[in-house]
């Protein structure tokens, strides 16, 4: 296809006319050129209706040429991957693109839901608050939910790759219009590292859409020269088609980078986080529409957008146009259309007086100018057919004649330009309505930010360039050390949109609706209603009418809403206040924000030193506190339960090998090491002899148990603290915090060594025998190496630290070797241990073994409410001399109460029934069912052949042998409360 549409002009536009791109729109095959946006291509092909509105499903056409677009939000599919709500005005045309309209049925040209438009009188703002109460909201909700929602969830395989990037720079310039370009240029000339970010694919901003010369030269040549110098500078980073959407504290900004979204190898989106010393916002301005009856018809377009399509894309918005305005600026649209050969039926100007030059220009072209007139109503369904023009009173509130209908297919509207202050506001900048400029202007900001160009109401090209240049110089030279002081936006370059007179709304004829928010279908009468019901505060108005809450965030409706509100309340706009703009300035893809950090990239899975061995030996790896650990090792034909039981039996009857490397290890060394640990542990530390190991509890200051483990005395000034695996980092930090912040005078050094040492634990009667097979300088004999002691030496030539401690109740040694030697030692132990029937043990069996012993598992058997008295450590605390973390809290009456939930064991009485952790112990027989505690650990004990459990029970210590009712998911079983020690209570096995 060579033709790219009936509305494409013979020449003009910055397109590659030699390259045609074909695409489909709602099934129709169309074509455009390289350089087109989806919107310009649709217009070129004479497509008038592109979407349906949110609430009334009215036909809507392309309204703007930029990110403010409220109508043309389409579903775009590029090689199989569909994305909803794409702004046609921002999406470059891509070969083979499949485009469909959303939120309409059966088609965008005929939408059944249009019925809501005819019932609009019943659907004023907040109608749902007044109705749907009977019988209940649920009766109507699902139907209403189906009507709501603009797009539909993307389908098809999504090949988009997302990446996060970071950037630091001295000066960040947002927006590459003429103001931003000159700011970046001057800043880089002054030697600063500059980053220039532009949301458009091309640099130049509005200047790309105008033929107005700059500084006596064509805007193109001016831009070309500046961009040339910027590209040449190694100081300058330029990001195109990158949208700065978030402005956070300390001058941190975020941006969505779509420059490679049509990358040949598949779409790529980047999320940039930019930290800038100084920020210059050159974010431009957004033209605002006029309000009149049926101002939402296809064919009605912002005047500046009409020029944009004309000059940048060589597209005529229509064949016969009317220009409606309250300022001189829009006259350019009339002139440019006329000069391009498009008929201009009339210029309808709300003002009494028009600047001489433009009037002269108009006369020269023979264009009809109707002063003190407004478009008051329009006709047409899928395309605009005519507009009703009336003479109006000078204040704009009354009609002065019966008007005439002027036929046209395009209506270009303008009520002046409004600065894009969203990012400025996000930065904490205050904005205010300026009556003389008739727009919202930046006021002052606490962050290191400057705002220039149209964004600062500097609408004249030369003043925008001048103020941009000055800001660039100042930013580059501003002293870095200085404290950001609230910085006022400079006002000396400000110039109003030429001769604007803020008549924004035509007098209302009959009850015809005047649209304020096109996307959410909010009309002027909705705002009047809100005011009538006293939702007159800006925040209330916004929420009650939902004006400005649609996906365009009110970029073309907020100001008009304010002016209607001021009209009905009689307060001037300045007094109404504005709503604070929040991130995001434009919607940002979730995937980009996350940088595709899914699966293992979401949270690092940590691997143990002998990981490979476990993987190659059928280990079932589960996540335990971030570590990938074997839950059990499956043998042929086994399921988990069978494997776990087998592993438990192996330890009790023979020998088990278990990797416990994640076990936290912290060395404490120094003159005051013991004194320090004595203040940390509930237990007595100072009395521990070298070579000895002791079990200890750590509390927080509120007396709650936070961790347990053993600590060993290597030498009088050298201790080794073991923490639970899940708490390794936390406790290391905890100790450091107490040392640095509370007791810096204590002379000691803390050194976490968790990852240096792998821990392989042997458990079982023949553990000693196996170790004695190894050449070693450690005497493993029972006499020389008793339970709860520590030895350092070599095993099979390897440096090793051995603690004789037991989590299983069996004779057990924890062998620590340098992590890189763990796998070898593991294999050696497996080989030499074969004769003893050694078996690798997973964590689940390990936990059952400790359950059989009734050993505490902090985090399972305790929660954030458990104190050591509940666990029966009262006597030990009484013996302890001196303060320790949390001790004072234990002295409160509430902490000493014997009615607290205390640590006990449970045995199921009901034969054949199980016991699960998470079940509750309830008062029974129940006068009123009440929980007295809960089962914290439970499982089947292969050794004892029945279900056992541990739990926390009110006054439990005094209730041994009592029979209780255990409740789980409505079922109950009887259980007996016992001391928490089911197997080998005297500890012969582990002490032997």
Smaller CB separation from other proteins, 365 or 799: 799
- Write down the least CB distance from residue 744 to other proteins, Å: 6
- Write down the least CB distance from residue 927 to other proteins, Å: 14
842 contacts 608 by C-beta, under 8 angstroms: no
For every residue of 322-374, DSSP letters joined together read EEEESSSTTHHHHHHHHHTT-EEEEEEES-S---HHHHHHHHHHT--EETTEE
Reduced to 3 states (helix: H, G, I; strand: E, B; else coil), residue 632 is strand
Buried b (16+ CB within 10 A) or exposed e, 42-68: bbbbbbbbbbbbbbbbbbbbbbbbbbb
Smaller CB separation from other proteins, 85 or 909: 85
Smaller CB separation from other proteins, 259 or 490: 259
Q: Beta strands of 438-523 (E only): which ranges?
A: 439-445, 449-451, 487-488, 515-517, 522-523
- Write down the least CB distance from residue 798 to other proteins, Å: 11
- Write down the least CB distance from residue 423 to other proteins, Å: 13
Pick from 540, 576, 545: which is nearest to 559 by CA?
576
- Write down the least CB distance from residue 828 to other proteins, Å: 17
Smaller CB separation from other proteins, 729 or 828: 729
176 contacts 205 by C-beta, under 8 angstroms: yes
- Write down the least CB distance from residue 708 to other proteins, Å: 14
Q: Beta strands of 381-482 (E only): which ranges?
A: 384-391, 404-407, 410-414, 417-419, 430-434, 439-445, 449-451
Reduced to 3 states (helix: H, G, I; strand: E, B; else coil), residue 405 is strand
- Write down the least CB distance from residue 843 to other proteins, Å: 10
- Write down the least CB distance from residue 327 to other proteins, Å: 31
431 contacts 463 by C-beta, under 8 angstroms: no
764 contacts 807 by C-beta, under 8 angstroms: no
How many residues can be counted in the chain? 992
Smaller CB separation from other proteins, 7 or 719: 719
Whose tokens are 């204590």? That residue is 746
392 contacts 350 by C-beta, under 8 angstroms: yes
Smaller CB separation from other proteins, 133 or 635: 133
Token reading at 846: 């390990």
Smaller CB separation from other proteins, 246 or 709: 246
The count of C-alpha atoms lying within 13 angstroms of the C-alpha of 607, restricted to the half-sphere facing its C-beta, is 12
800 contacts 608 by C-beta, under 8 angstroms: no
- Write down the least CB distance from residue 121 to other proteins, Å: 4
- Write down the least CB distance from residue 804 to other proteins, Å: 23
Smaller CB separation from other proteins, 249 or 492: 249
Smaller CB separation from other proteins, 60 or 307: 60
- The secondary element (H helix, E strand) that includes residue 965 is strand 963-968
- Write down the least CB distance from residue 382 to other proteins, Å: 24
- Write down the least CB distance from residue 363 to other proteins, Å: 43
What are phi and psi for residue 525, nearest 5 degrees? -70, -30
- Write down the least CB distance from residue 485 to other proteins, Å: 10
- Write down the least CB distance from residue 314 to other proteins, Å: 20
977 contacts 961 by C-beta, under 8 angstroms: yes
d(CA 90, CA 243): 11
Question: How far, in Å, are 73, 284, 764, 770, 828 from residue 833 at the CA level?
Answer: 70, 76, 11, 6, 8
- Write down the least CB distance from residue 703 to other proteins, Å: 8
d(CA 154, CA 85): 10
Smaller CB separation from other proteins, 416 or 664: 664
Task: Mark out the alpha helices in 854-952 (DSSP H runs).
Answer: 874-879, 887-890, 893-896
d(CA 977, CA 956): 8
Smaller CB separation from other proteins, 409 or 852: 852
Smaller CB separation from other proteins, 55 or 768: 55
Smaller CB separation from other proteins, 961 or 969: 969
- Write down the least CB distance from residue 194 to other proteins, Å: 9
Smaller CB separation from other proteins, 269 or 761: 269
Token reading at 276: 């800038």
Smaller CB separation from other proteins, 241 or 351: 241
- The secondary element (H helix, E strand) that includes residue 268 is strand 268-281
- Write down the least CB distance from residue 188 to other proteins, Å: 11
Question: How far, in Å, are 57, 148, 220, 503, 548 from residue 144 at the CA level?
Answer: 14, 6, 50, 37, 21
Question: How far, in Å, are 609, 822, 841 from residue 612 at the CA level?
Answer: 8, 11, 15
Please, which residues have CB within 8 angstroms of residue 492's CB and are 6 or more apart in sequence? 467
Reduced to 3 states (helix: H, G, I; strand: E, B; else coil), residue 249 is helix
Smaller CB separation from other proteins, 105 or 405: 105
Smaller CB separation from other proteins, 268 or 778: 268
The count of C-alpha atoms lying within 13 angstroms of the C-alpha of 217, restricted to the half-sphere facing its C-beta, is 8
- Write down the least CB distance from residue 443 to other proteins, Å: 16
Smaller CB separation from other proteins, 833 or 939: 939
Pick from 979, 969, 973, 869: which is nearest to 915 by CA?
973
Q: Tell me how many degrees the CA angle 542-543-547 measures, rounded to the nearest 5.
A: 40
């Amino acid at each position: 296809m060579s033709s790219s549409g009936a509305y494409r002009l013979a020449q003009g536009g910055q397109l590659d006319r030699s390259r045609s791109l074909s695409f489909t729109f709602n099934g129709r095959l169309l074509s455009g050129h390289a350089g087109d946006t989806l919107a310009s291509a649709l217009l070129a092909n004479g497509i008038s209706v592109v979407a349906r509105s949110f609430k009334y499903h009215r036909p809507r056409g392309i309204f703007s040429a930029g990110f403010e677009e409220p109508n043309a939000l389409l579903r775009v599919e590029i090689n199989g991957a569909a994305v909803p709500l794409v702004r046609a005005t921002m999406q470059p045309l891509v070969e083979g693109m499949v485009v469909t309209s959303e939120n309409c049925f059966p088609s965008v040209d005929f939408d059944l839901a249009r019925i809501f438009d005819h019932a609009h009188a019943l659907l004023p703002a907040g109608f749902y608050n007044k109705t749907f109460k009977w019988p209940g909201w649920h009766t109507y909700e699902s139907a209403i939910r189906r009507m709501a929602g603009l797009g539909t969830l993307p389908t098809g395989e999504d090949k988009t790759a997302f990446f996060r990037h970071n950037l630091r720079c001295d000066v960040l310039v947002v927006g590459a219009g003429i103001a931003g370009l000159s700011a970046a240029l001057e800043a880089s000339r002054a030697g600063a590292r500059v980053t220039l970010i532009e949301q458009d694919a091309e640099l130049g901003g509005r200047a790309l859409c105008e033929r107005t010369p700059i500084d006596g030269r064509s805007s193109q040549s001016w831009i070309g020269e500046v961009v040339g110098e910027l590209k040449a500078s190694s100081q300058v980073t330029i990001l195109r088609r990158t949208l700065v959407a978030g402005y956070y504290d300390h001058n941190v900004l975020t941006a969505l980078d779509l420059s490679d979204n049509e990358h040949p190898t598949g779409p790529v989106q980047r999320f940039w986080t930019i930290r800038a010393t100084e920020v210059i916002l050159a974010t431009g301005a957004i033209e605002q529409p006029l309000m009149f009856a049926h101002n939402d018809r296809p064919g009605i377009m912002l005047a500046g957008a009409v020029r944009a399509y004309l000059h940048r894309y060589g597209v005529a918005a229509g064949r016969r146009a009317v220009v409606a305005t309250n300022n001189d600026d829009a006259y350019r649209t009339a002139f440019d259309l006329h000069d391009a050969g498009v008929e201009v039926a009339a210029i309808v100007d709300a003002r009494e007086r028009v600047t001489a030059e433009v009037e002269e220009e108009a006369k020269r072209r023979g264009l009809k100018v109707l002063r003190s007139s407004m478009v008051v109503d329009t006709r047409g369904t899928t395309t605009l057919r005519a507009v009703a023009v009336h003479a109006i009173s000078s204040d704009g509130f009354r009609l002065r004649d019966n008007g005439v209908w002027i036929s046209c297919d395009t209506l270009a509207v303008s009520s002046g330009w409004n600065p894009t202050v969203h990012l400025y506001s996000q930065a904490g900048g205050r904005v205010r309505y300026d009556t003389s400029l008739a727009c919202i202007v930046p006021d002052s900001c606490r962050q290191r930010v400057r705002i220039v160009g149209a964004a600062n109401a500097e609408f004249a090209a030369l003043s925008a360039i001048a103020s941009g240049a000055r800001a660039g110089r100042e930013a580059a030279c501003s002293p870095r050390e200085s404290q950001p002081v609230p910085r006022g936006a400079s006002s000396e370059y400000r110039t109003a949109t030429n001769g604007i007179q803020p008549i924004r709304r035509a007098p209302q004829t009959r009850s015809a609706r005047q649209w304020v928010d096109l996307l959410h279908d909010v009309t002027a009468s909705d705002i009047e209603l809100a005011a009538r019901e006293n939702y007159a505060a800006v925040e209330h108005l916004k929420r009650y009418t939902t004006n400005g809450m649609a996906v365009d965030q009110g970029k073309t409706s907020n100001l008009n809403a304010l002016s209607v509100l001021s009209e009905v309340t009689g307060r001037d706009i300045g007094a109404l206040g504005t709503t604070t703009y929040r991130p995001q300035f434009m919607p940002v893809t979730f995937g980009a924000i996350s940088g595709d950090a899914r699966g293992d990239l979401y949270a690092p899975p940590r691997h143990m030193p002998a990981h490979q061995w476990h993987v190659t030996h059928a280990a079932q790896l589960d996540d335990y506190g971030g570590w990938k650990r074997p839950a059990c090792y499956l043998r042929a034909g086994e399921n988990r339960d069978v494997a776990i039981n087998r592993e438990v039996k192996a330890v009790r009857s023979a020998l088990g090998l278990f990797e416990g490397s994640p076990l936290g290890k912290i060395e404490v060394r120094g003159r005051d090491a013991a004194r320090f640990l004595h203040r940390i542990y509930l237990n007595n530390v100072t009395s521990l002899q070298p070579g000895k190991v002791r079990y200890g509890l750590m509390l927080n200051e509120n007396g709650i148990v936070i961790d347990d483990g053993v600590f060993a005395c290597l030498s009088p000034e050298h201790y080794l603290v073991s923490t639970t695996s899940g708490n390794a980092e936390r406790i290391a930090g905890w100790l450091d915090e107490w040392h640095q912040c509370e007791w810096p005078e204590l002379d000691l050094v803390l050194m976490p060594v968790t990852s240096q040492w792998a821990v392989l634990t042997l458990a079982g009667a023949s553990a000693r025998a196996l170790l004695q097979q190894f050449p070693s300088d450690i005497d493993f004999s029972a006499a020389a190496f008793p339970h709860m002691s520590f030895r350092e030496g070599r095993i099979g030539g390897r440096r090793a630290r051995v603690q004789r401690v037991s989590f299983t109740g069996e004779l057990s040694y924890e062998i620590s070797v340098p992590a890189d030697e763990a796998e070898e030692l593991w294999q050696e132990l497996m080989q030499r241990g074969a004769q003893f029937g050694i078996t690798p043990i997973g964590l689940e069996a390990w936990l059952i073994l400790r359950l059989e012993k009734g050993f505490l598992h902090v985090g399972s058997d305790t929660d954030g409410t458990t104190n050591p008295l509940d666990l029966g450590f009262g006597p030990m605390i009484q013996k302890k001399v001196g303060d320790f973390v949390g001790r004072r809290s234990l002295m409160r009456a509430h902490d000493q109460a014997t009615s607290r939930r205390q640590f006990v064991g449970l045995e199921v009485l009901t034969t054949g029934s199980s016991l699960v952790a998470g079940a509750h112990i309830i008062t029974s027989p129940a006068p009123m069912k009440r929980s007295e505690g809960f089962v914290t650990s439970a499982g089947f004990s292969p050794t004892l052949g029945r279900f056992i459990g541990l739990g926390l029970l009110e006054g439990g210590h005094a209730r041994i042998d009592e029979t209780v009712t255990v409740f789980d998911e409505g079922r109950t079983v009887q259980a007996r409360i016992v001391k928490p020690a089911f197997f080998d209570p005297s500890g012969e096995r582990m002490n032997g």
